[in-house]
Amino acid sequence: MQWGSPSEFWAMGGYGLYVWTSFGATALCMVWEVLAVWRRQAAAAVERRDVA
Amino acid sequence: MFQTVALSGSRGERLLFSDVSVTVKPGTLLAVVGENGSGKTSFLRMLCGLLSPDGGAILWQGEDIRQLKELYTAQLTYVGHLNGIKDELTPVENLKLSACLAGDKSSGAIVQKALEAVGLGRSVHRLPTRVLSQGQKRHVALARLWLSTRPLWLLDEPFASLDTAATSYLTQRLQAHLSNGGMVVIATHQEIALPTDSIQHLRLAR
Amino acid sequence: MFQTVALSGSRGERLLFSDVSVTVKPGTLLAVVGENGSGKTSFLRMLCGLLSPDGGAILWQGEDIRQLKELYTAQLTYVGHLNGIKDELTPVENLKLSACLAGDKSSGAIVQKALEAVGLGRSVHRLPTRVLSQGQKRHVALARLWLSTRPLWLLDEPFASLDTAATSYLTQRLQAHLSNGGMVVIATHQEIALPTDSIQHLRLAR
Amino acid sequence: MSFMGINWFKYSSPQAFHPLAGKMIPWFSAAALALIGVGLYIGFFVAPTDFQQGDAYRIIFVHVPAAWMSMFLYVIMAAWAGIGLGLNARPSFMMAQAIAPTGALFTFLALLTGSMWGKPTWGAWWVWDARLTSELILLFQYIGIISLRASIDDLRRADRASAVFALVGVVNVPIIYFSVRWWNTLHQGASVSMTASPKMAATMVTAMLVMTLGFWMYSFAVTLARVRCVIAERERQLSWGKNASIQQVAEAR
Amino acid sequence: MSQPSMSEALRGVVRRDLLLAMRHRSDVAMSVFFVVIVASLFPLGVGPEQAVLRMIASGVLWVTALLACLLSLGRLFTADYLDGVLEQTLLIPQPLAVLVVGKVFAHWVISGLPVVLLSPLLGLQFGLSGDSLWVLTLSLLLGTPTLSMLGAIGAALTLGLRGSGLLVALLVLPLFVPVLIFGAGAVTSSLAGIGSEANLSLLGACFLLSLAFAPWATAVALRIALE
Amino acid sequence: MSQPSMSEALRGVVRRDLLLAMRHRSDVAMSVFFVVIVASLFPLGVGPEQAVLRMIASGVLWVTALLACLLSLGRLFTADYLDGVLEQTLLIPQPLAVLVVGKVFAHWVISGLPVVLLSPLLGLQFGLSGDSLWVLTLSLLLGTPTLSMLGAIGAALTLGLRGSGLLVALLVLPLFVPVLIFGAGAVTSSLAGIGSEANLSLLGACFLLSLAFAPWATAVALRIALE
Ligand code: HEM
Ligand SMILES: Nc1ncnc2c1ncn2[C@@H]1O[C@H](COP(=O)(O)OP(=O)(O)OP(=O)(O)O)[C@@H](O)[C@H]1O
Ligand SMILES: Nc1ncnc2c1ncn2[C@@H]1O[C@H](COP(=O)(O)OP(=O)(O)OP(=O)(O)O)[C@@H](O)[C@H]1O
Ligand SMILES: [Mg+2]
Ligand SMILES: [Mg+2]
């Protein structure tokens, strides 16, 4: 394990901004996509119940 | 009262009609008839002010429509060859918007009633007009007449591609308008099933 | 002989007709009637192969038209809602080109004769079609029938916006085609003035 | 016809596919979570710092999987589209429709993480090099397919038109992949990659591969969930039609 | 007698066009994509050197915005003309020039505004930074409505003519030239550190001038086209 | 039974389109004017230095040619679709792909060829000379038919859709990119004295590839559009 402390970990050798933006944006996009699909599914389910 | 005085019109070098003087009194209908290409559409567009006459004048309550401008257009409803509806909008939206632009009432319920009155079933009220059939699109255009409170109606072949049910609805609507003291000018190839005393014919020759 | 077998068709998830089986024998006419929006146009386009059916088949001389492909389109002439003519070209040029593309004779004299036969006066033969009236444009489209040597005609509301003269010319032409052993399928709201024994009705319900 | 004991035709109809997809989604989701977790652990705590690029290189663990997925998903989408056109099968169009947004998302992520990486290593957020450009074009293709579908509301036409375009656009995928080889560019090629010693490179490669597998699982889960939405939405439109029995006739065709 | 008030009619016109745009959400995004794609084509043709790209950035981005406006002009009146909505609009009892302002405004919201909002990002791609990015955005904000208004004249004049896509280009591009020069000039002078106020105020003047005259000219052209 | 031969049908299709173009002679000139005007806008936006202009010449001219093709795509099928000529074309008893080739050829003659013929002059304006002028012309001659064919796919796919002007841009511009890169690359490499054969033969390959597949894809797209 090369990280001496959490702050070192977050700093990423001075590249923290870039690294964490990348990972953060990726995580955010994926979570957003999952939520979007989930909401869409819920909406579709409601409509189905309405029709039936 | 609506009058044309010695009206003459031409399209590109060709004289279509000349010296046409007719008077449309409240409660009467003027049927413009004639062969294909005799100038019915051109005549109607002239009455709207969309086309300028070669000679003569068009008078609304005795005043020239060229002087009246917007005061005159506020008196008429025109339904042309083209339907004047947006393909991408639904019948309801189309009718609402055109009623609103004409200054007529345009709530959802009123609009739906008008569409049903012309024979357009509820099932297609919320589809984009693009997918409707030829005749159904015409219904949407004509439904404006059920909302219109204007005294003068100018209709260009309103019956073309309508089925029999819609034709009779429209005839009834015209009847109601006339008995309210309205005026109608109509270009058509069909017979109109209205009492003959309220109809006046203008035949254009080719 | 031309047949549909248990044909069903829908537009955008809406079923228009199903299980339609009709046979059109040489020398007979099939009139497709029904209210606005009942699916007449869709039915005709399906017979042309422009629209694919949801179920069933269309047979020409006993063979499925999906197998025949170009062999089948070489048998038919279709005149749709849209005229299929170029606004910028004159009636003569339009007719010449479409006859040439259909493989029919297309000399100047023949084409002019066809245009006159449908009721289009010589004076407008050399104008761009754009300036013609609604009905005159329709004449140009229909004049193709006077040149067509194909056995099967599919016509979508050919009588709409025609005057009485043109209507009777067209009726005579249909009569001649039928007595030559031709077949006609027609979608219309009007009555067709032909002997009733050669007419067969198909009513589509909404 | 049965293949490995499964009746495939049974699942080729949307109604049968809907519950099947529902059953598979949890498994894929769990696998995705586990793999991405393990990948992140190896990536951040096992793999050592690169002595040339420092820790910025760790972006590789999202960048490369995202870039790969963007291309894979396009090919898969085009394949479904092709099958749909060939066999006139509605479920395959639905699959293609469901894949497009995820593909676009990964393309966007590849671009984003790439430029995050570019700033520290190349000194610029963006350069006009062949691979970057072709990846950008891939994004436009995804957007094109999605907007084409969005602008057509007749489902049948929407399905088939976007399928044709997806197929035509496949030519771009080999261009992206080989762009590094064909043109001399700033972006690194497959062989250059790591500057560290072989043993350390191995842990990096492992992390990258595990992350990629995780992204695969994620894509499966999300597209299956989305295809369920699509089926449900289309069914709803169906039931707006006339009566159910005739729809089933049409469906069975 | 039924007659809509002026503001009612204006709102009606704008509402219909925005409704149509909303019907296909993607339409609104379209001009943005167009700008992004075309702007990306230039580096492909010209080559990737940052120095060259920064030098041509203002010109390229402005020409692109101008083309986006040009391409979307087809939407302004043509559809209305073909389906007869335009002749109905002419029959609305309100001054036509006012209704034209409504239509042009809706057109700008749909096709101009998105480009303005996107421009900072594109500037970054071409290596612009800081001040000049803001000047670019500001110049587009002032310039694109002018483009829409001038374009409307051309669109009305070519209504219903064959090949009007290119004809309209021919007519309006010369009118666009001053806007282009001032707009691109603003960015260039800010890059050179000279200060861009002069160019920006000239752009503002263009805007006011065209607001005063263009709707009126467009109205006349529309009446002629429909004769 | 009457049936036109394949070459007869092909000639008929081409003849009609050329006749229509001849009816409005100005149409043919239009794409030339467009290219001239847009190409002249760049010096206005970028500034007048010869060195910079020569550097960007190939890119700008190619992008312009490409935009001219894009703008004229609207003419390819839309008019035919609206007036029903297209559905009649589908009913001609010949393979649709062949007829599509005819239409695309006519389109190229009207909108692509004039640009090719004009290009040497434009090259001169941007300070190209001798060899590179010829390479420019040759690359356009090889490239513009490819653009027309690829563009036809997009035009067919977006037929009758709202805002199709921009949608078609979104669809086909990505497909145009390889042609742009090879075309502009040929000029650039000839300017650098490297020799442009590689790029030109890649252009040729693109042409053959699109000739093989594009008409077929367009035919499929047209059938879908008319359903
Ligand atoms: C916006 C910018 C970027 C884009 C669009 C992009 C795109 C791609 C694509 C599509 C791939 C997968 C293709 C393949 O594996 O051959 C890839 C892989 C890769 N990229 Fe990038 N990239 C970008 C920036 C960068 C930067 C700045 C770096 C590092 C300095 C980088 C390093 C890599 C590496 C190491 C690979 C893996 C190559 C391999 O081993 O196969 N990328 N990138
Ligand atoms: N530029 C022109 N040159 C010559 N004649 C023209 C020109 N423009 C129009 N026309 C003629 O003017 C007439 C236009 O008539 P209009 O459209 O008013 O006829 P219509 O009575 O409505 O016919 P339909 O019953 O077919 O609708 C046509 O006969 C047309 O040929
Ligand atoms: N996407 C869609 N969703 C629902 N209904 C649709 C869709 N597309 C078309 N339709 C319906 O299909 C029918 C089309 O009918 P078609 O045009 O064949 O009618 P028609 O019998 O020719 O009518 P007309 O007499 O008015 O010409 C219309 O009722 C229309 O509402
Ligand atoms: Mg008329
Ligand atoms: Mg019909």
Contact assessment for residue D106 and residue D64, using Cβ atoms and an 8 Å cutoff: no
Residue that wins the pLDDT comparison between F140 and A7 = F140
Write the residue in E24, E40, E124 that is nearest to D150 by C-beta: E24
Beta bridge partners of B155: B79, B186
pLDDT tens digits along B89-145: 899 999 998 888 888 888 889 999 999 999 998 888 988 898 899 999 999 999 999
Write the residue in E40, E47, E48 that is nearest to D136 by C-beta: E40
Lowest mean pLDDT among D60-69, D148-157, F132-141: D148-157
Q: E145: which 2 tokens?
A: 């409505």
Say if residue C43's pLDDT is above 90. Answer: yes
Residues 115-174 of D with CB under 8 A from C: 153-156
By C-alpha distance, the chain A residue nearest D62 is: A23
Task: Give domain limits for chain A.
Answer: 6-51
In this structure, the residues whose C-beta lies within 6 A of any atom of ligand 2 are B 11-14, 16, 34, 36-42; C 124, 127, 131-136, 161
User: How many angstroms does the Cα of residue C206 sit away from the middle of ligand 4?
Assistant: 30
Residue nearest to atom 18 of ligand 3 (CA): C39
pLDDT tens digits along F7-37: 888 998 999 999 888 887 666 777 788 888 8
Interface test with chain D among C11, C13, C20, C51, by most D beta carbons within 10 Å: C13
Mean pLDDT for A9-37 is 91
- What pLDDT sits at residue E2? 61
- What pLDDT sits at residue D176? 77
User: How many angstroms does the Cα of residue D187 sit away from the middle of ligand 1?
Assistant: 6
Residue nearest to atom 35 of ligand 1 (CA): D193
Average pLDDT of chain E, as a whole number: 85
Q: With pLDDT > 70 as the criterion, what percentage of chain B qualifies?
A: 100
Containing B53, the helix (H) or strand (E) segment is none
Interface test with chain F among D168, D178, D185, by most F beta carbons within 10 Å: D168
Phi, psi of C152 (to 5 degrees): -110, 125
Write the residue in D119, D225, D239 that is nearest to A51 by C-beta: D239
- What pLDDT sits at residue E108? 92
User: B160, C164: Cβ pair inside 8 Å?
Assistant: no
Write the residue in D109, D225, D232 that is nearest to A26 by C-beta: D109
Ligand closest to CA D107? 1
User: How many angstroms does the Cα of residue B206 sit away from the middle of ligand 4?
Assistant: 13
Residues belonging to chain F with any Cβ–Cβ distance to chain D shorter than 8 Å: 153-154, 157-158, 161-164, 167, 170-171, 173-175, 177-178, 213, 217, 220-221, 224-225, 227
Write the residue in F44, F59, F166 that is nearest to E45 by C-beta: F59
Contact assessment for residue D6 and residue D24, using Cβ atoms and an 8 Å cutoff: no
- What pLDDT sits at residue E171? 83
By C-alpha distance, the chain F residue nearest D156 is: F224
Chains A/F: 3 or more C-beta pairs closer than 8 A? no
Please list every residue in chain D whose beta carbon sits closer than 8 Å to the beta carbon of residue A14.
Answer: 54-55
Chains F/C: 3 or more C-beta pairs closer than 8 A? yes
Q: Which atom of ligand 3 is nearest to the CA of B124?
A: 31
* Residues within 5 A (CB) of ion ligand 5: B 133-134; C 41
Which residue intervals of D152-197 are DSSP H helices?
155-169, 172-182
pLDDT tens digits along D84-123: 999 888 889 999 999 999 999 999 999 999 999 988 888 8
Q: C3: which 2 tokens?
A: 């047949």
Distance CA B42, CA B23 (A): 18
- What pLDDT sits at residue B112? 94
Size of chain D in residues = 253
Task: For residue F55, name the pLDDT band (cuts at 50, 70, 90).
Answer: confident
Distance CA B139, CA B127 (A): 14
Task: Give domain limits for chain E.
Answer: 6-225
Ligand closest to CA C47? 3
Phi, psi of C205 (to 5 degrees): -100, 155
Distance CA E199, CA D221 (A): 54
Average pLDDT of chain D, as a whole number: 81
- What pLDDT sits at residue D83? 94
Ligand closest to CA D68? 1
- Ranked by mean pLDDT, which of B4-18, D152-166, F203-217 comes out on top? F203-217
Lowest mean pLDDT among B161-170, D229-238, E149-158: D229-238
- What pLDDT sits at residue F27? 66
In this structure, the residues whose C-beta lies within 6 A of any atom of ligand 3 are B 124, 127, 131-136, 161; C 11-14, 16, 34, 36-42; D 154
What pTM was estimated for this model as a whole? Answer: 0.84
Contact assessment for residue D238 and residue D63, using Cβ atoms and an 8 Å cutoff: no
Please list every residue in chain E whose beta carbon sits closer than 8 Å to the beta carbon of residue B89.
Answer: 16, 19-20, 23
Task: For residue A49, name the pLDDT band (cuts at 50, 70, 90).
Answer: low
Q: How many angstroms separate the CA of residue F161 from the nearest CA in chain D?
A: 7
Task: Give domain limits for chain D.
Answer: 25-45+56-252
Ligand closest to CA C136? 2
HSE-up (13 A, CA, CB side) for residue F31: 28
Distance CA C128, CA C122 (A): 13
Beta bridge partners of B184: B29, B153
Q: C62: which 2 tokens?
A: 């006993």
Contact assessment for residue C112 and residue C125, using Cβ atoms and an 8 Å cutoff: yes
Please list every residue in chain A whose beta carbon sits closer than 8 Å to the beta carbon of residue D45.
Answer: 1, 3
Q: With pLDDT > 70 as the criterion, what percentage of chain D qualifies?
A: 79
- What pLDDT sits at residue D2? 38
Q: Is the CB of D176 under 6 A from ligand 1?
A: yes
Ligand closest to CA B51? 2
Say if residue D131's pLDDT is above 60. Answer: yes
pLDDT tens digits along D195-211: 544 555 788 889 999 99
Lowest mean pLDDT among C69-73, D3-7, D182-186: D3-7
Q: Is the CB of D117 under 6 A from ligand 1?
A: yes
Instruction: Tell me if chain C has a CB within 8 Å of the CB of D192.
Output: no
User: E167, F31: Cβ pair inside 8 Å?
Assistant: no
Say if residue E177's pLDDT is above 80. Answer: yes
Please list every residue in chain F whose beta carbon sits closer than 8 Å to the beta carbon of residue E160.
Answer: none
CA F17 to chain centre: 15
pLDDT tens digits along B52-72: 899 999 999 999 999 988 889
The ipTM, to two decimals, is 0.82
User: F163, E75: Cβ pair inside 8 Å?
Assistant: yes
Residue nearest to atom 3 of ligand 3 (CA): C12
Contact assessment for residue E13 and residue E99, using Cβ atoms and an 8 Å cutoff: yes
Phi, psi of F116 (to 5 degrees): -60, -45
Say if residue F144's pLDDT is above 90. Answer: yes
Contact assessment for residue E44 and residue D130, using Cβ atoms and an 8 Å cutoff: no
Which residue intervals of chain B are DSSP H helices?
40-48, 65-68, 70-73, 91-102, 108-118, 134-142, 144-147, 164-179
Say if residue C85's pLDDT is above 80. Answer: yes
Q: How many angstroms separate the CA of residue F26 from the nearest CA in chain C?
A: 14
Instruction: Tell me if chain E has a CB within 8 Å of the CB of B52.
Output: yes
Number of other residues whose CB lies within 10 A of the CB of residue D198: 7
Eight-class DSSP state of B121: -
Contact assessment for residue F208 and residue F144, using Cβ atoms and an 8 Å cutoff: no
Q: How many angstroms separate the CA of residue B69 from the nearest CA in chain E?
A: 8
Write the residue in B50, B73, B100 that is nearest to E226 by C-beta: B50
Task: For residue E218, name the pLDDT band (cuts at 50, 70, 90).
Answer: very high
User: D127, E26: Cβ pair inside 8 Å?
Assistant: no
User: How many angstroms does the Cα of residue D63 sit away from the middle of ligand 1?
Assistant: 7
Task: For residue E165, name the pLDDT band (cuts at 50, 70, 90).
Answer: low
User: How many angstroms does the Cα of residue E13 sit away from the middle of ligand 4?
Assistant: 28
Residue that wins the pLDDT comparison between A46 and F203 = F203
